[in-house]
């Protein structure tokens, strides 16, 4: 009962700040991108403050957050991941499904903050377009964030890494920094279980590997570290 009540209080807090910030700061969409980035980070900080106060969930970052033009490939278990990585990284461009940009307010702000949208139905053409957008971001000295499984996975679920991350790695020529986390243990849909979420940046993968070798190494590093972080 207490767990449910704490989770409900956090949900009310989350909805309240999201609605208020979306309405008050709607005009930032006509301002330079930096204003939207500031708003996204402010929203994430308020969300994490409520998460700590109402549900007693904190977080810890291990390893060194990468700087500059790199490709960050992270495990994905919950909504927490996107907010945390956006806070820790320096103005990353997030690779996401094009459909998410159609969500009122959320999609508008994500688009303004320079997301890299992909159309899964477009096949090879989508990959080439994504690579072109990625190079533009990297040329600005900013990181790209991608979730290589393409969707959230429950803790302990079998991995399912999609080839898009290998294509982006090869076409961009960027160093890839894997990241592991255990957010799904504590952020389980509506219910939020008290504890400390760990986000860990792993040993970088230098550019130039063949596709199969890169995919095997990326999956091995992320899954090994993720399993170590699970209870």
Pairing status of strand 144-146 against strand 191-192: unpaired
Query: Which residue range forms the structural domain that includes residue 179?
Result: 57-229
- Is residue 28 included in any domain, yes or no? no
- The tokens describing 140, both together, are 């600005």
Q: What average pLDDT does range 150-174 have in this prediction?
A: 92
Q: CATH number, domain at 62?
A: 3.40.1130.10
- The whole-number average pLDDT for the span 191-203 is 97
Question: Taking a C-beta distance cutoff of 8 angstroms, is the pair 3, 54 a contact?
Answer: no
Answer yes or no: is 127 within a domain. yes
Mean per-residue pLDDT, 142-154: 94
Q: What is the pTM of this model?
A: 0.91
In a domain, 44, yes or no: no
Categorize the per-residue pLDDT at 23 as very low, low, confident or very high, splitting at 50, 70 and 90: confident
Token code pair at residue 16: 């309240």
Across the chain, mean pLDDT equals 89
Residue 39 belongs to a domain: no
Q: Where are the beta strands (DSSP E) in 50-206?
A: 57-62, 71-74, 93-97, 116-118, 144-146, 176-181, 187-188, 191-192, 195-201
Report pLDDT digits (tens) over 120-140.
Answer: 665 666 667 777 788 888 999
Residue 37 falls inside a structural domain:
no
Q: Is 122 helix (H, G, I), strand (E, B) or coil?
A: helix
Task: Please report the pLDDT score of residue 124 as a whole number.
Answer: 62
8 A C-beta contact, residue 46 and residue 154: no
185 pLDDT more than 70: yes
Number of structural domains in the chain: 1
User: What is the tens place of the pLDDT at every residue in 48-94?
Assistant: 999 999 999 999 999 999 999 999 999 999 999 999 999 999 989 98
Overall average pLDDT of the 141-161 stretch: 94
> From CA 81, how far away is CA 203, in angstroms rounded?
19
Work out whether strand 57-62 and strand 195-201 pair parallel, antiparallel, or are unpaired: parallel
Question: Sign of the CA dihedral 124, 77, 159, 217?
Answer: positive
Residue 46 forms part of a structural domain: no
pLDDT at residue number 35: 82
| Strand pairing class (116-118; 191-192) | unpaired
Question: For the purposes of burial, counting CB atoms within 10 Å of the CB of 67, is it exposed (0-12), middle (13-18) or buried (19 or more)?
Answer: exposed
């Amino acid at each position: 009962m207490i767990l449910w009540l704490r989770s409900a209080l956090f949900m009310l807090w989350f909805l309240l700040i999201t609605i208020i910030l979306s309405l008050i700061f709607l005009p930032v969409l006509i301002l330079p991108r930096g204003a939207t980035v500031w708003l996204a980070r402010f929203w994430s900080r308020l969300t994490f403050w409520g998460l700590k106060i109402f549900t007693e969930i904190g977080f810890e970052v291990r390893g060194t957050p990468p700087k500059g033009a790199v490709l960050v490939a992270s495990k994905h278990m919950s909504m927490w991941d996107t907010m945390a990585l956006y806070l820790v990284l320096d103005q990353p461009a997030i690779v996401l499904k094009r459909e998410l940009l159609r969500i009122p307010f959320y999609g508008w702000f994500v688009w303004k903050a320079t997301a890299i949208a992909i159309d899964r139905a477009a096949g090879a053409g989508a990959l080439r377009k994504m690579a072109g957008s990625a190079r533009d971001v990297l040329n600005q000295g900013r990181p790209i964030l991608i979730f290589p499984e393409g969707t959230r996975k429950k803790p302990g679920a079998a991995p399912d890494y999609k080839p898009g991350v290998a294509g982006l790695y090869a076409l961009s020529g960027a160093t890839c920094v894997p990241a592991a986390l255990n957010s799904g243990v504590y952020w389980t849909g509506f219910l939020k279980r008290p504890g400390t979420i760990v986000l860990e940046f792993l040993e970088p993968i230098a550019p130039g590997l063949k596709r199969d070798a890169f995919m095997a190494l990326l999956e091995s590093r992320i899954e090994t570290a993720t399993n170590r972080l699970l209870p």
